[in-house]
Amino acid sequence: MRVAQSRELNVGTVIGKETPSGDAQPEILCVVLGGSTGTVVPERLMEPSARLVYISSEEFYRLVSGAPLRLRKLIRGRQFLVYMASEMARPLLAHFLVIAALLCPVRIVVLEPGGQLRIISRWRILADFVGIVTATLAAVKALVTFILRASRRRPLEFQSADVEKNGRTVVYLMANSSFSGTLTGGSVTHMAGVVNALSRLGIKITFVSAELFPNLDQEVRIEQVAPPPTAPALFSWYGLLLGRRLARRTLEVAHGDIAFVYQRLVPYNAAGMEVADRLAVPWIVEYNGSETWVTKRWGRGGMLLGLRATFERVALSSADRIVVVSDVLRQELLELGIPARRIRMHPNGVDANIYAPERLDGEGPIALRRKLGIDRYAFLCTFVGTFGRWHGAEVLAQAIAEWHAVDAAFIRQNKIMFLFIGDGQMMPEVRRRLASLVYSESVRFAGIVPHSDAPRYLAASDILLSPHVANTDGSRFFGSPTKLFEYMVMAKPIVASDLEQIGEVLRPSLNATDLPPLGRLPREDDQNIAILCRPGVPEDIRRGIVFLAENPAWRIVLGRNARKRVLERYTWEHHVRAVLAG
């Protein structure tokens, strides 16, 4: 392996020299591992002589599976750069190097997260191939072990009194693996909320994870595990290898009296089962929906989808208690044959200590608006999400576009602006619909923000938007959006889709198709919480925003009622008490 000797060398210097074609401006195909949509090589590592053509890791693998000849045409004769935007993406690196080598680039270079450049030799790539084979065999062994263990397992009866005894400890396994190095979204909020709520109820917590995790209380004991160095041939099987390491580390540090093991169920990771069996304690599984269902409808699917479904079903059948966040998921488990006594349902929640509007007033929101280029007197409408197919961000974008087309004057006169926070699968579509310069004055994209900064962005907003859409296959919406409860606790008016639990939590509410006339003030005892829209209807979103822009009294009442409701029913402490109920 040849290694660039100086950390000062940049991409252009290392790759650009010795260009076989003699081109003074070499074209380099760059695939980005980790980071978020739009991540590029930092400018400090570039020079004018290097011209990068980017391809996302998702697009790279889509071409591998569907159009390998097109990918070969892209790579062959070019220089190939793998930019590791995050250290958490390292288990995937070997795969990209092996595939790239088979497609005959001129040279392969890796740009490390710290800025070091490595020119990769063919011998190194051979070693990577061996590493993938070894990891795959280890994953197969772990899968067989799981099946044998699950076949022998008999679920235990969970007793809440077991947790309440003094000195008992709960082990929480963070089985998720992001590869991006950016932990965001509702799953992160949920995990932190549950762990902190358990701790605040006086229960000792040991949190075992392969990634640094944000926003955990100081009382939580954190054990970090080194992730597997290489993923198996099937990325989805990575959870099998990670699970082995999580289980091994947990059993090393699980001293004292353990009450139970808690794990969020993710594909091919049932580390909690092994730990619970070794310690002879209950295994609680948090189930937020079928990953098999998601992959089948929105992913690549494939012939191994049935194996994933079997793993999921066996894990659920083996759990001592299953926690779900909606009645739709509870019904799904009952149809699978899971006894009702082993299921606990409670919606997601919010940490009222973090999302506290009284601590976020003052100059902070004004400074944040200034940073984003938003007028301090603008009427700011904010969407937060991971831009999944169910979040409806593209519907909001369509509402903005149509509104500009029919009444741009109202938007300008009322200084209405829109802020999109986050990133994800549907972001390219959102940007496409809002690509025209017409929207540049009224739309801002904040990208992914640190989890700890989210309350500041909500505090800087005037109204908050939750335009979720129904599942395209006609199945019931099974989610419990954590952002909904964060919106509510901020005492801000909400415009949201009337969709399953979202509508249930926000009732009573105003209907976007039958809003009070202009000038009609709310009664002093009004109990409405939000404005509900028909899912997927852009016109309803526009109506709700116009109503709130023109009626400040209603904004105050709806925000006040939303905060009151969430504090009475939907904090994480409420959620955890329901989970532990006997």
Nearest Cα residue to 229 out of 131, 316, 315, 317:
131
Q: What is the DSSP string of 376-404?
A: TTSEEEEEES---TTS-HHHHHHHHHHHH
- Dist CA 98 CA 96 (whole Å): 6
Amino acid symbol at 347: P
Over residues 561-576, the pLDDT tens digits come to 999 999 999 999 999 9
Q: How many residues does the chain have?
A: 582
pLDDT tens digits in sequence order for the chain, 582 residues long: 233 333 444 555 555 544 444 444 457 888 888 776 667 777 766 665 667 788 878 788 778 877 888 888 888 878 888 888 888 889 999 999 998 888 878 888 898 888 888 888 888 899 999 999 999 999 999 999 999 998 888 877 776 655 655 567 899 999 887 766 556 667 888 899 999 999 998 888 999 998 888 788 899 999 999 999 999 998 889 999 999 999 999 999 887 788 899 999 988 999 999 999 999 899 999 998 877 766 666 555 555 777 888 888 999 999 999 999 999 999 999 999 999 999 999 999 999 988 888 777 666 888 999 999 999 999 999 999 988 888 999 999 999 999 999 999 999 999 999 999 988 888 889 999 998 866 778 999 998 888 778 899 999 999 999 999 998 878 888 889 999 999 999 999 999 999 999 999 999 999 999 999 988 999 989 999 999 999 999 999 999 999 999 999 999 999 999 999 999 999 999 999 998 886
Nearest Cα residue to 571 out of 347, 278, 242:
347
Nearest Cα residue to 480 out of 496, 464, 491:
496
- Element containing residue 261 per DSSP (H, E): strand 258-264
* Domain boundaries of the chain, sorted by first residue: 2-120, 142-345, 357-570
Record the pTM. 0.85
CATH fold, domain 357-570, is Rossmann fold (3.40.50)
- Dist CA 548 CA 506 (whole Å): 17
Phi, psi of 154 (to 5 degrees): -120, 120
Amino acid symbol at 539: E
Query: Three-state SS for 81?
Result: strand
- Taking the domain 142-345, which CATH number applies? 3.40.50.2000
